[in-house]
């Protein structure tokens, strides 16, 4: 694996790019977790190494967070990162397909980019231009820290324009997507994820919506390796990518 660290895509915001040692590859654009207030893009190597062995590059994205950010800064940052990577990945090789995803808060962001088309369209990109989405344990209702910013009880379940679930059914077509959640996830996260999947099914999006339930606590698998040294998250992604080929 070849890594290019701290590539600047926006003032004071960077991407770590981890490439397989071949000239043609797919690209996984990843947004880290941490409740939109903590976390780092510096831990992706665990699963990036496994993806690289399977000819998939990983771009781990830094984005604005609370308390310095406000809604929707973190979403617009990530949309800009997608645009920058689409425009510049050709400098590193031939990119065949682009996948977008994230874990926890990053999963919330990836869902917002997938379902609220305004963010990517601001950069001339349609959500369906992305070949595959990986929404890992993200909150499909309004994110609890967005609620906190708006002065609302963060335990409330609100489905408004700050919620990915609000936009389900507003598009006729969606790219294939994978939802990951744990059986012992954050309080209510499993149930909310099931509601998201079922709502997509209600609108006829079943064949291209995949689900993986992990035997874990919330996102404990993201930076773990299995007994063979392979990234657990990478193995889940690879298993479902086989359905696209």
| Total number of domains constituting the chain | 1
82: CB partners within 8 A, 6+ apart: 29, 98, 100, 113, 120, 123, 125, 130
- Is the CB of residue 238 less than 8 Å from the CB of residue 212? no
- Is the CB of residue 162 less than 8 Å from the CB of residue 146? yes
Residue that has been written with the tokens 């997938």 in this structure:
114
Residue 3 confidence (pLDDT) above 90: yes
Rounded to whole angstroms, the Cα distance separating 188 from 190 reads 6
* CB atoms near residue 238 (< 10 Å): 17
Q: What is the pLDDT of residues 61-97, one digit of tens each?
A: 999 999 999 999 999 999 999 999 999 999 999 999 9
Q: For residue 197, give the CATH number of its domain.
A: 3.40.50.1820
Give me the long-range contacts of 90-94 (CB less than 8 A, separation at least 24). Answer: 92/4, 92/17, 92/19, 92/57, 93/19, 93/22, 93/23, 93/24, 93/25, 93/57, 94/23, 94/24, 94/25
Rounded to whole angstroms, the Cα distance separating 9 from 81 reads 6
Torsional class of 36: left (φ above 0), alpha (ψ -120 to 50), beta (otherwise): left
Q: DSSP E strands: which ranges in the chain?
A: 2-10, 13-19, 24-31, 56-61, 94-103, 132-136, 177-184, 209-217
Q: How confident is the model at residue 199 (pLDDT cuts 50, 70, 90)?
A: very high
Which residues sit opposite 209 in a β-bridge?
Answer: 177
Q: Write down the mean pLDDT value for the chain.
A: 97
**Which domain range does residue 171 map to?**
2-244
Q: What is the reported pLDDT for 135?
A: 98
Rounded to whole angstroms, the Cα distance separating 109 from 38 reads 14
Residue 211 confidence (pLDDT) above 90: yes
Q: What is the pLDDT of residues 58-68, one digit of tens each?
A: 999 999 999 99
Q: What is the reported pLDDT for 104?
A: 98
pTM for the whole thing? 0.96
How buried is residue 23: exposed, middle or buried, by Cβ count under 10 Å (0-12/13-18/19+)?
A: exposed
Q: What is the pLDDT of residues 98-126, one digit of tens each?
A: 999 999 999 999 999 999 999 999 999 99
Listing from the earlier edge strand, what are the strands of the sheet with 94-103? 2-10, 13-19, 56-61, 24-31, 94-103, 132-136, 177-184, 209-217
216: CB partners within 8 A, 6+ apart: 182, 183, 184
Rounded to whole angstroms, the Cα distance separating 146 from 109 reads 12
Percentage of residues in the chain having pLDDT higher than 90: 98
Q: How confident is the model at residue 244 (pLDDT cuts 50, 70, 90)?
A: confident
Which residues sit opposite 140 in a β-bridge?
Answer: none
Backbone φ and ψ of 80, nearest 5°? -65, -35
Q: What is the reported pLDDT for 229?
A: 92
């Amino acid at each position: 694996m070849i890594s290019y660290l701290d590539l600047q895509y926006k003032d004071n915001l960077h991407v770590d790019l981890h490439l397989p040692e071949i000239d043609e590859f797919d690209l996984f654009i990843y947004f880290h977790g941490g409740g939109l207030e903590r976390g780092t893009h510096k831990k992706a190597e665990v699963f990036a190494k496994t993806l690289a062995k399977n000819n998939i590059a990983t771009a781990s994205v830094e984005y604005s967070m609370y308390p310095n950010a406000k809604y929707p800064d973190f979403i617009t940052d990530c949309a800009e990162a997608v645009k920058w990577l689409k425009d510049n990945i050709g400098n590193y090789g031939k990119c065949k397909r682009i996948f977008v995803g994230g874990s926890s808060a990053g999963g919330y962001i990836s869902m917002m980019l997938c379902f609220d088309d305004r963010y990517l369209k601001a950069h001339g990109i349609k959500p369906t231009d992305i070949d595959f989405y990986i929404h890992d344990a993200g909150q499909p209702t309004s994110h609890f820290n967005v609620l906190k910013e708006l002065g609302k009880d963060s335990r409330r379940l609100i489905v408004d324009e700050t919620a990915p679930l609000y936009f389900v059914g507003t598009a006729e077509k969606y790219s294939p997507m994978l939802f990951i959640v744990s059986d012992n996830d954050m309080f209510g996260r499993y149930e909310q994820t099931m509601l998201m999947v079922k709502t997509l099914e209600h609108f006829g999006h079943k064949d291209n919506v995949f689900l993986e339930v992990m035997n874990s606590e919330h996102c404990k698998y993201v930076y773990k390796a299995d007994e063979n040294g392979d990234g657990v998250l990478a193995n889940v992604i690879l298993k479902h990518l086989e359905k696209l080929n």
